[in-house]
Structure 1
């Protein structure tokens, strides 16, 4: 049996055309479009200003594969992790990270991941498929609802730092951001959105060519090629020289914020020599901020978190060398919702 067309993949002009074929007035198309994006309806039944006959006709003709919340867990620090169920039964995770000044959604862009980073739980999973743009939009809309229910506040920020490599699902990630920032969708400023990449140089340049308006974060985690290739196989085909060139190209084209993500691993990348190498890379790119991240141990990885003394020494050394660095304390560790821990465990 052929699967029906996903109604959310139609543009407003296409919807108007369909409604014309159905003998319906054009304004009905506008109503449905609003239900889909502005009101985030979970299905045709929710479209209460349409007649039952029209809803039944749409149901017959189109698919509406909305994402649903399969399970949630709340951390002692207020972080909420959700496991989302997709129409085909696959599961992905998203996280609401609340602080005193921000409500941040961390969303996934792929089911699993193909990059096999040695410190990340998702990296030990196979990549099953890319998320469609409307599925990513649903993640954000559902986390926004959780934010409203738990804190009475809308989301302030979105980070594409969940499961998967966003730039290997380029088209859907960009289309999801288009809908999230659209006045017809969530009307969020693109400056409040950060896409994180393990470093796909060609696609970073493509972001520059496409003049995107959101921010970019590079998961660096080691500042020399030998170490980076050891923990991130993608570095073999996207080395630091190529990434520096791509990031400068991106900045020249967009002037959007660039940040580095750098997880500290005990006795691997936490020495002052490692800090010097990080400073050298930092000075080659117009980086706004370096996020130094606490490591969150996972079952399959050999890494450990450095001591507080080592972490403090690393941070102080960066500070002395005028690096704008911030230590990001992990949140949601007790529910496997922290950086690198997402693996569909509940």
Structure 2
């Protein structure tokens, strides 16, 4: 059975060829699924009923069950907990940004795996077992969940996609790349690749593969410590791919694509927020085509980590600015609805 939501035009042409249908049917199917966002073959009004029956024997459209929808008090962050047909649950977050100096944005943060095998000690998702990779259709279903919400509440369409939800995107790279092309397709949602960001904890071989794909997406590397000792204590993957190798691969990505690499640095109180840590980070970022995203850490009770003191956060950012590093503090959203990856799923499972 072919999941139409994860199918590109070539997949659909193979399906129509198999069924001895005219080629234009493939484009019709693509339009209904990727532009209109139908959730069932029976909703395709210009496909004859008999043909709908034939297609239903060969294809389906992924439609996860919406378990919960949580909305922040500010109304700018909406979190969806979705369950797929085999029972696995993932989280998706829609964040709305109203701007005065630039256009408004509706950003959806998608998961790429159910669970995660990377074991980062501060991450709620990492505390759960790795269940499986998601399919391209399941990633697309998350975007369409957010898109339908935007339509229902008279918001503009989804404008940005960040692969920063549950799981390690580069551990599911072929599927992630397929979803990027589907989202970018002009006959679909037409989301610009420059408005997509892929996060990684530092899978070095896959960073090179992504660079060689030559797509103008943003690469975001989870750094979280300025040296190998500190990073290995937070992120076990650093023992396999140490900081020097990660930075070399990220530099290759920047050179190959001409795109600045974003380095994510979550500040944890008393762990990686000292003046010495700031000085080390300055040295790491010196002369790199990079942005540093400082993240006041979400407090995950099970991890024991705490958010930094406000004055420590301010001094840390000032230190980076003083040494010429392009650093910003990520805008906090959704703290009142467990918007950090994996928190809501763990809470629901615990009931």
Q: Same fold (TM over 0.5)?
A: yes
> Which deviates more, 102-111 or 19-28?
19-28
Report if the CA contact (8 A) 1:217-1:260 is conserved. yes
Matched, 1:47 2:71: no
Question: What is the match of residue 192 of structure 1?
Answer: 195
Report if the CA contact (8 A) 1:74-1:335 is conserved. yes
Question: What is the match of residue 160 of structure 1?
Answer: 163
Residue of 142, 154, 157 corresponding to 1:139:
142
Question: What is the match of residue 305 of structure 1?
Answer: 307
Residue of 34, 37, 40 corresponding to 1:37:
34
TM-score (norm 1): 0.93
CA distance in 2, matches of 1:171, 1:250: 17
> Which deviates more, 161-170 or 144-153?
144-153
CA distance in 1, matches of 2:295, 2:167: 19
Taking only aligned residues, the RMSD between alpha carbons, in angstroms, comes to 1.8
Question: What is the match of residue 293 of structure 2?
Answer: 291
Rate the CA distance shift 1:339–1:26 in 2: closer, same or farther, 3 A: closer
Question: What is the match of residue 338 of structure 2?
Answer: 336
Matching of residues 1-346 of structure 1 within 5 Å? 4-8=1-5, 10-16=7-13, 18-78=15-75, 79-101=77-99, 102-150=105-153, 152-283=155-286, 285-287=288-290, 289-338=291-340, 341=343, 343-346=345-348
Rate the CA distance shift 1:20–1:227 in 2: closer, same or farther, 3 A: closer
CA distance in 2, matches of 1:16, 1:218: 37
Rate the CA distance shift 1:9–1:107 in 2: closer, same or farther, 3 A: closer
CA distance in 2, matches of 1:14, 1:215: 27
| Residue 46 of structure 1: how far off its partner (Å) | 1.2
> Which deviates more, 66-75 or 130-139?
66-75
Report if the CA contact (8 A) 1:208-1:250 is conserved. yes
Rate the CA distance shift 1:32–1:118 in 2: closer, same or farther, 3 A: same
Structure 1, unmatched stretches of 5+, are none
Structure 2, unmatched stretches of 5+, are 100-104
Report if the CA contact (8 A) 1:330-1:339 is conserved. no
Q: Render the CA deviation track for 1:2-35: whole Å, top value 9, x for unaligned.
A: xx34345554355345435545433223212211
